[in-house]
Amino acid sequence: MQCHPQPRTEMRPTSSLIAKAASPATRVATLADLDVIAPLFDQYRQFYLQAPDLPLAARFIRERLQNQESVILLASDLARGVIGFCQLYPSFCSVEAKPIYTLYDLFVVSQARRSGAGQALLLAAEQHAAQNGKVRMDLTTARTNRAAQSGYESLGWVRDDVFLAYSKHP
């Protein structure tokens, strides 16, 4: 992930945005939530064309939570229970010499899309980051995922048009 300063906006959700996202409740997940998170994480991976593998999903999430390598936020509503999650990975920006989060996973079950769950998770992530001393959050999304891009931009995320991202498997 690239690390470069972005135009600064204070990491504090506005009250009007919080009011819009108040419908789905959000909270930080614990290891006790593994049986709820694992199937969602498996569905998330399938969305990105991975074969279904619930044991792999459960093992991966268990390791992240046990080792405190990520923070997982859950969204739920009274009618459907847990309907989505986002996963934050702590990192650092060497240029700013400060801690950041990489928001790597964001998923809402298909039946709950457009319910405000995605927005609620993004706002909860922003609040959690600010409360935990992170100066920025970074994320990437598919160039074709226009709906997600619109949602991010509506919440003040700034698209990076300067730097390119590269990946390589060793």
Q: Is the pLDDT of residue 51 over 50?
A: yes
More confident residue, 18 or 74: 74
Q: How confident is the model at residue 133, as a pLDDT?
A: 97
The mean pLDDT of the chain is: 88
Structural domain spans, the chain: 15-154
Q: How confident is the model at residue 85, as a pLDDT?
A: 98
42: which residues sit within 8 A by CB, 6+ positions away? 52, 53, 54, 56, 57
Please identify, in words, the CATH class of the domain defined by 15-154. alpha beta
**Predicted confidence band of residue 11 (pLDDT cuts 50, 70, 90):** very low
